[in-house]
Amino acid sequence: MVRWGWLREAVVRLRQGWVPVAEATLAATVAWLLATRLVGHPQPFFAPAAALIVLGQARGQRMRRAIEVVLGVAAGVLVADLVVQALGPRSTGTVFTVILLTVALAVAIGASSVSVVQAAVSALYLVVVSPPTESLVPFRFVDALIGGAVAVVASQLVDARRPLAPLVAEFRRTFDGMAEVVEEVATALADRDDAAARAALDRARGLDAGVERLRTAVLAAGEALRLNVRRRRHIGRLRTVDASVAQVDYAVRNVRVLARAGVTCNRLSSPVPDELVTALRVLAEAVRAAGEALAADLDGAESAADRHAEQADAAALAAVRAVGRLFTQGHTLPLAVIVGQVRATAIDLLRGVRADDDAAVLARVDEALGLPPL
C-alpha cells in the first residue's frame, strides 16, 4: 500500500514538474547534436554539460549563468593547458596545481560559486580525462558556448508567447494565499476554534516562500522580456510591479502577525466581537482585489486593473473603519494587535495598487481608523 502511495506521489510530481524534465532533455540533446554535427567535435562533453548547468539555475538568472559557464570553461582550459605543458598530464602534482590555481583565480576575480565549480571541473576534466592539445583547446570553449546558448533558448520556449504569464499566476497565488489565511483567522475567531487558529498561523508562516517565488518570477519575467525583442516595451510595466513586491512582503509579515494575535485572542475568556470577524473577512476581500489589480496591470488590462484597485481601496478602508470602531479603552492587547495589523495591511495594499504617495495613503487609512490627522 505504501509502495503504491509513493508511486502516485511520483506521478503527481512528474505532472507538476514535466517542464524542467523536457527542458533539460531537449537542451542537452540539441547541444550535443550542434556540437557534433555543426562544429564537428567528436567528444563534445561540455556542450550538454553546460546546458544542464545553466538550466539548473533559477529562472531569471540563466543568461548570467550562461555567461559565467562559458567564462569558467575558458579559464579552466587556459590554466589546465599551461600546467599540463609544464608538469605533464594525469599526475598528482598536476591535479593539485590545476585545482589550486583555477579556484584561486576564480575567487580572486570575484566569480560566483557556479563559475568557480565550472572552472575547476573543466580544468580537472582536461587534466585527467582528455589532456588538452593545441587543436582541441578552442572546441571546449565553443562547446560551452553552444550549451549555454541552447539552454537559454530552451528555457524561454514555454513562455515565449506570454512571458509575463507565470508572474501573473504567481501574483494571484500569493494574494490568494494571504486572503485565505485572513479568512481562516476570521473563521477560527468566530468558532473559537484554537486548532484552526494555530493552523492559520502555520499557514501564515509559509507565506514567505510565496514572496520568494514572486521575486524569482519577477527576475524570470525580466529575463524573458529582454530576450523577446517584440515584448521589451513591457519592461517598464515590470519595473512598476517590482516596486510593489516590497509592499507584498510587508503585507505578508502583517498577516503573519495578525494570525499570531488571532491565536492569542482565541485563548482569552472574553468574547470575540462579531464586528472583528466581519472586518477580517472584508480585509480578505481587499487582499484578493489587490492581487487581481496587480495581475490585470501586468496583463495590460488597465480598465480591469483600475476596477480591482477601486475594490481593494474600498474594502481595505471599510475593514479599517470596522476595527476602528472596536478599538476603545479597555479592550485586550491581542485585539489591539489585530487592529494594528489590519491598519498596516491596508496601508501596504493601498501602497501596492495606488499611485498616491505614502503620506496620502497613511492619511486616508488613519482617517478611516478615526485617528486625528498629523
pLDDT tier for residue 183 given thresholds of 50, 70 and 90 = very high
Same domain assignment for residues 98 and 204: no
Question: Quick check: is 374 in a domain?
Answer: no
Same domain assignment for residues 240 and 189: yes
Closest among 328, 331, 309, 329 to 369, alpha carbons compared: 328
Q: How far is CA 127 from CA 85, 115, 189, 333, in A?
A: 10, 18, 67, 68
Query: In degrees, to the nearest 5, what angle opens at C-alpha 39 toward C-alphas 33 and 45?
Result: 60
Q: How far is CA 34 from CA 25, 218, 224, 342, in A?
A: 14, 32, 23, 58
**Residue-wise pLDDT tens digits, 210-249:** 888 888 777 777 766 665 545 555 555 666 666 677 788 8
Q: How many domains does the chain have?
A: 2
Q: Is the pLDDT of residue 327 over 90?
A: no
Same domain assignment for residues 241 and 275: yes
Q: Is the pLDDT of residue 171 over 70?
A: yes
**Residue-wise pLDDT tens digits, 124-144:** 877 777 665 555 445 777 887
CA distance 370 to 299: 37
**The domain that contains 259 carries what CATH number?**
1.20.58.220
Locate 371 and state its grid cell: 485617528
Same domain assignment for residues 280 and 192: yes
Same domain assignment for residues 189 and 69: no
| Residue 284 neighbours by CB under 8 Å, 6+ apart | 179, 180, 182, 183, 186
Phi first, then psi, for residue 160 (nearest 5°) are -65, -40
Same domain assignment for residues 218 and 251: yes
Same domain assignment for residues 146 and 120: yes
Same domain assignment for residues 262 and 315: yes
Same domain assignment for residues 113 and 256: no
Which one of 96, 122, 157 terminates a domain?
157
Which one of 112, 141, 157 terminates a domain?
157
Which one of 109, 128, 157 terminates a domain?
157
pLDDT computed for residue 337 by the predictor: 80
Question: Quick check: is 267 in a domain?
Answer: yes
Closest among 254, 63, 60 to 163, alpha carbons compared: 60
Give the range of the structural domain holding residue 113, as residue numbers without chain letter: 2-157
- C-beta separation of 163 from 126 below 8 A: no
What's the whole-model pTM score? 0.65
Same domain assignment for residues 250 and 147: no
